Structure 1
Amino acid sequence: MSQSTPIDELVAVMAKLRDPEGGCPWDREQTFESIVPHTLEEAYEVADAIEKGDRAAICDELGDLLFQVVYYAQLGSEEGAFDLNTVAAGVRDKMIRRHPHVFGERTLHTAAEQRETWEAIKAIERADRGEPARASALDGVPMALPALTRSAKLQARAAKVGFDWPDIAPVFGKIREELEELEQAVADNTNVAEELGDLLLATVNLARKLKVDPEQALREGNRKFERRFSALEDILSNAGEALETASFERLEAAYQLAKAAEKPNLPE
């Protein structure tokens, strides 16, 4: 008799949580739709642990994310639609199918060739499933993606069919143009959100041209701001000043001190 694996035991734990008789009331109430926000949160917690370089936290957060997959598999099993083995077998077969240069006899030499092969195989898979051919080059980019990530993917799709600046210089010009239009919109008090969206779109395009993930760049910017603002709070606290009563000028000066403190000491 084969010994159970941790995965087997995790599946059994999930089944127990969903048991109609002795399970957890909260877990029994959940549906595919209701746990989506938890899945997204767990995915971001994995990203956060990776950014911090905390291997123990990465392991822990990956466990939480894995549990989300097991949760969906349990729901699918209860409906008779699929189980965890079906999910694993499906992705195993997909990876083998989409990497003929690794598991087959085809030879690819560059990442660009791999991307082209990947997209071609995906198109064949869609046809085999009876899905209609994409009417637009932008079809298939999930609506649920974070807006920055989705914008980058939409613009990358457009670039593949030639809708792209030849180099980076015009992108800076486009950003300046959009900024001027936003300033005018603010002055006129009209279409401000629309013009701000255009500016963000142009900025994401710049990130794409620079080969920078805009979502990751903003996450790193947020982390930097949090670190410096925390230092600002320490500066005021050490000076016996209250954050709530300090003037903006004082807050800005403290922020600049915090910023300067991060710079390495240069030799005189």
Structure 2
Amino acid sequence: MPHPHLDRLIEVMHTLRRQCPWDAEQTHESLVPYLVEETLEVVEAVEAGTDGALVEELGDLLLQVAFHAEIAAQQGRFDIEDVARGIADKLVARHPHVFGSEPVPDDMLATWEQRKRAEKRRTSALDGIPDRMSALTRAAKVIARSERHGVAVQLETDGDDLGDRILALAAEAHARGVDAEQAVRAAVRRLEQRIVAAELAD
């Protein structure tokens, strides 16, 4: 099935890199703040639940992918076809129960982690967890990874250290199948609504 608008996006990026001074001077490094911002705006659109907002924010995120690929293509390193090929190949390789003859694994997430670990030759459950994640998201990731890799570590739950207590709550959220970061964001939004309501009542 042809995707004319994807092709158009690539052509638009070609033109912008040649003719717009701002676009022409951007680098992978200079675009990082925009990539982070657009990713967070996609999260907000998902949680808001409106298709219009999600389409717009996914478009902004797709622009970041196209932008980075265009920079690399101009330097002769790789292009957006290489990006698409790489992720498609990875998905096929990590789903032999779909694209091959293997049975469906009992624990999909654990099997996915095992394949990633072997593919990337990781030696620790912590390898590959981004340092720049928020502390709460990173806590949840570390807890989940250690569990899937069979590394049992007892959490400090009885002390007075606030960080340890928050970590214990992240572990509780993981055990319940709750995204701790998302739960806190939802609680903050409820608090904001109450604050606004209180301000209007004054």
Q: Tell me the TM-score normalized by structure 1.
A: 0.69
Q: Which residue in the other structure is 1:123 paired with?
A: 117
State the alpha-carbon separation in 1 of the partners of residues 200 and 168 from structure 2.
37
Following the alignment from structure 1 to structure 2, what is the Cα–Cα distance between the partners of residues 219 and 202? 18
* Cα shift at 1:121: 2.3
Amino acid across the alignment from 1:158: S
Calculate the aligned-residue CA RMSD, in Å. Answer: 1.9
Q: Deviations over 1:154-181 (max 9, x none)?
A: 112222324156xxxxx7x91xx23xx2
Question: What corresponds to 2:126 in structure 1?
Answer: 138
Give how far 1:43 is off. 1.1
TM-fit CA distance, 1:102: 0.4
Alignment of 1:83-232 (within 5 A): 83-110=79-106, 112=107, 114-127=108-121, 133-134=122-123, 136-160=124-148, 161-163=150-152, 174=157, 177-178=158-159, 181=160, 195-232=161-198
Q: For the structure 1 residues 202 and 16, does the alpha-carbon distance in structure 2 shift closer, same or farther, using more than 3 Å as the test? A: same
Bigger mean CA deviation after superposition, 35-44 or 197-206:
197-206
Change (3 A) 1:159 1:119: closer
Where in structure 1 are there 5+ consecutive unaligned residues? 128-132, 166-170, 182-194, 237-268
Partner of 2:53: 57
Identity %: 43
Measured after TM superposition, the shift of residue 204 of structure 1 is 1.2
Per the TM alignment, residue 199 of structure 1 is displaced from its structure 2 partner at its CA by: 2.5
Supply the AA of the counterpart residue of 2:84.
Answer: A
Once the 2 structures are TM-superposed, how far is the Cα of residue 198 of structure 1 from its aligned partner? 2.3
Q: What are the equivalent positions in structure 2 for 1:69-84 lying under 5 Å apart?
A: 69-84=65-80
Q: Deviations over 1:114-164 (max 9, x none)?
A: 23332232233224xxxxx42x32222111222211111111222232415
Matched residue, 2:34:
38
- 2: CA distance between counterparts of 1:124 and 1:139? 12
Structure 1 partner of 2:20: 24
What SS is found at the alignment partner of 1:139?
coil
Amino acid at match of 2:7: D
Judge conservation of contact 2:66–2:80 (CA < 8 Å) in 1: yes
Structure 2 residue aligned with 1:12: 11
What does residue range 244-255 of structure 1 map to in structure 2 within 5 Å? none
Structure 2 length-normalised TM? 0.91
Quick one: distance in 2 between partners of 1:47 and 1:82? 28
Runs of 5+ in structure 2 lacking a partner?
Answer: none
Question: What is aligned with 2:200?
Answer: 234
The count of aligned residue pairs is 200
Query: 2-side partners of 1:81 and 1:151: how far apart?
Result: 35
With 66-75 and 46-55 compared, the bigger mean Cα shift is at: 46-55
Q: Which has the larger radius of gyration?
A: 1
Give 1:230 deviation, angstroms. Answer: 0.8
Query: Shift in Å at residue 85 of structure 1?
Result: 0.7
Q: Does the aligned pair in 1 maintain the 2:105–2:111 contact within 8 Å?
A: no
- Give CA deviations for 1:177-232 in whole Å, capped at 9, x if unaligned: 23xx2xxxxxxxxxxxxx33222222211211221111101110111111111111
Cα separation, 2, equivalents of 1:46 and 1:217: 17
Instruction: Using the TM superposition, give the Cα deviation of residue 31 of structure 1 relative to its aligned residue in structure 2, in angstroms.
Output: 1.0
Q: Deviation at 1:69?
A: 0.5
